[in-house]
Amino acid sequence: MRTLQDAGRTAFSLFCDDLRQEVGGKQTLVGVYSGAQVEINQAPPLILPRMCVVTHIFTPLTSPFKRLAIDARWNGAVLQRVEPEVNWLAEIQKMKGPPDAKVWNVQAALVLQPFAVSEAGVLRMYVTMDNEEFESNGLNFHFNLPSQQVATTF
């Protein structure tokens, strides 16, 4: 079986309506979008009060990174960029994990508030580790509206 360590660096994103911090450092994701496409049955624009993205970034223990940047992009345009401090990255990668650990996992949560969808497109996360860019999965938005329909349901 191929492991994440064999696969090298990778990233995966979850998209949801809200994030909540719980006791003990846990997170609750509310309104998680399942699937890769959101069908919108109204005329543009769609204004979402919040769009939250939780991205998990994996790198093998044998391949720690010195620099990290996470971009939220809408149709390729950067909406938000997060770059953790280099010292913070070095400190967390010194921490000892379970003895059978094979990868480092860094989790980043971004909140786009509000999130306006004025046309069909894709919200996608891009992760740059040491000048190497990785494309995460995305969430596609599609307006499914016959020309005569005037309903405003979602």
Q: Would you give per-residue pLDDT tens digits along the chain (154 residues)?
A: 444 455 688 999 999 999 999 999 899 999 999 888 889 898 899 999 999 999 999 988 888 888 999 999 999 999 999 998 888 888 877 777 778 888 888 899 999 999 999 999 999 999 999 989 999 999 999 998 766 444 555 4
Domain boundaries, the chain: 4-143
User: In which element (H, E) is residue 58 found?
Assistant: strand 51-60
Q: What is the CATH number of domain 4-143?
A: 2.60.40
Dist. CA 52–CA 49, nearest whole Å: 10
Q: What letter would DSSP give residue 36? A: S
For the record, the structure tokens of 149 come out as 């329909």
Residue 85 contacts by C-beta under 8 Å, 6 or more apart in sequence? none
CA–centroid distance for 5 within its chain: 21
Q: What angle do CA 114, 67, 89 make, to 5 degrees?
A: 85
The SS3 of residue 139 is strand
Given this model, what pLDDT does residue 11 score? 92
Given this model, what pLDDT does residue 147 score? 63
CB 78 within 8 A of CB 9: no
Given this model, what pLDDT does residue 7 score? 62
- pTM, entire model: 0.84
Longest dimension (CA), the chain: 62
Given this model, what pLDDT does residue 48 score? 95
